[in-house]
Chains A and B, each alone.
Chain A
Amino acid sequence: MIDFTQYNNRNISDDYFYLDIEKPPVTWQGKFKRVVKRTLSGELFVGLWIVFREMIKFDIHTIQYPLEKLPISPRYRALHQIKRLVESGNQACIGCGLCEKICISNCIQIDTKYGSKGRKVVKGYSINLGRCIYCGYCAEVCPELAITHGQDYEHVSEQRAHYATLPDLVTPMDIFKAGKQKPYPGFGSLTPNADNNVKKTPLAY
């Protein structure tokens, strides 16, 4: 029998307590006293001092956006990219169609055919970026880490339907040749300490 008491206790911490708020006065003497007390307590000057202190400290938090940018998390889900295989330079998508299947907003379309060696090759691949909600499911489901989310969040289009096709998504060849295709650190990728987590599968158990 499981004991549920600890789950039924909604008090998250014993540190919670009721504030000692004084009751509003009812008599006119009490009200008068409160007004005088508040007038002379100088709380207003505390407010003045705080903003003045901030002005003197000049600790500015403005990011002048188009000129400066905040660093974004590697898990940020911006425009999609399709990676190339490091060994061959071919795009990594194997045409399995999982991303098309899982996409919530039905905005991926993929078309495949039999290649010359009888293998499946990708004929066409397009994402309607105007419909995409950037949920990241396609990147998570992709078995080859082919479709991933990049970091480029600045894109506009003149119409709602805004398609990105395979040539737009795949890492450009010159960038790939220069060795600048960044490994994908976001959804589904190996964590930096992945090596430590690998355990040898025992032969006998």
Chain B
Amino acid sequence: MESAYIIETIVKVVIILTVFSALAGITTYFERKVLAFMQRRLGPMHVGPYGILQVAADGIKLFTKEDIVPQNAVKPIFKIAPVFAAATAFIAMSGVPFLPEFTLPFTDYVVHPIVADVNIGILFVVGVMAVGMYAPLLGGMASHNKWSLLGAARTVIQMLSFEVVTGLSLIAPLMMVGSLSLIDINNYQEGGIGHWIVWAQPVAFILYLISGYAETNRTPFDLLEHEAEVVTGYATEYSGMRWGLFAIGEYANMFTVAFIASLVFLGGFNPIGIIPGGLAILLKVSFLIFLFLWVRAAWPHIRPDQLMWLCWKVLMPLAVVNILITGIVLI
């Protein structure tokens, strides 16, 4: 049993690493295509049929590009920072149950599609994602470049502030469920669309989505690497695969946020009617990812002072009030 468990865990880790690294690339393709269609363009068209091999071209480019380390950079930190971005994003995934339990075909071996079912699941995931803040911070400060430094400073204010909103917005549903385990939260919503937590906690859902966008550095809040203001922010000096690691980390975080949002608020992997649970959660996650791209095409982004205003004067009081009301109703 022990060795089987170890082998199972290793297999799951390898599958998650490969699947989500590949998904990061494929998502960039879909992001370009969706954005292009929304702006009446065609997007990538020349590499392969309908540009589908653009992902491969980008990958080859990233791997073979010269790896430049600036002369005055703090070299060890500069080199290790992107690893934090990708590593924390993938470590956070170890606490996420991606699919319902299933039995391996032709055996009676039950697979739990979660690497580590810790009983503080969501706390672990949110915490590790927050540690990912160190990657832009260290990378930006070690780069010896003023744009990188400004980008790093923005990273800290944005991520620290929105960490508060993430935490507070998740507290209300957790109070209803009474457990931090994502599997318990999922099982709490058994029994169809009517039992989803989003109907009981719409405000918390919206708050979580907003802060999720801010933490994954997506468009209304993409201040960390806004070209018009700070070139590419913390990533200005990065090239090749080191930059690629940042990108993979960002897309992996997008998927984690989408999975958490669908697990906590949208009924997780409970079957909807005839749709089996595994497909249901994939549909929800795909929709949330599409929402990320959709919002990017539609909305302009905001200034840093507006961001802080939004966080501390609007979202945080709302989250606290939401918790209060939830508490009163629960009592």
Complex CA gap A180/B133 in Å reads: 68
9 nearest A-B residue pairs (beta carbon): A62-B42, A51-B38, A47-B298, A55-B37, A51-B298, A51-B297, A61-B40, A48-B298, A55-B38
Size category of the B interface is 10 to 19
State in angstroms the CA–CA spacing of A61 and B40 once bound together. Answer: 6
Q: Is A19 an interface residue (CB 8 A)?
A: no
How many A-B pairs have beta carbons closer than 8 Å: the answer is 39
Q: Does B245 contact A (CB under 8 A)?
A: no
Known: A35-B314, A51-B298. A64 touches B45 (CB 8 A): yes
Residue numbers in B under 8 Å from A51 (CB-CB): 38-39, 294, 297-298
Q: Does residue B295 face the partner (Cβ distance < 8 Å to A)?
A: yes
B40 and A60 contact, CB distance less than 8 A: yes
B206 nearest CB across to chain A (Å): 10
> Contacts A64-B42, A64-B45: A58 and B298 contacting too (C-beta < 8 A)?
no
Supplied contacts A48-B294, A58-B37, 8 more A-B pairs, CB within 8 Å? A44-B299, A47-B298, A50-B298, A51-B39, A52-B38, A52-B294, A60-B41, A64-B45
B24 on interface, CB distance cutoff 8 Å: no
How far, in whole Å, are A55 and B41 apart by their CA atoms in the complex? 10
Quote the shortest CB–CB distance from A163 to chain B (angstroms).
34
Produce 1/0 per residue, A63-92, CB < 8 A to B.
010000000000000000000000000000
Contacts of B152 in A (CB 8 A): none
Point out the residues of chain B lying under 8 angstroms from A61, CB to CB. Answer: 40-41
Closest B residue to A61 by CB, please name it: B40
A35 — which chain B residues lie within 8 A by C-beta?
314
A48 to B38, CA, bound (A): 10
Chain A residues in 8 Å Cβ range of B314: 35
Chain B nearest Cβ from A45, distance in angstroms: 9
Q: Of B41, B297, B299, which contacts A62 at CB under 8 A? A: B41
Complex CA distance for A62 and B35, rounded to whole angstroms: 13
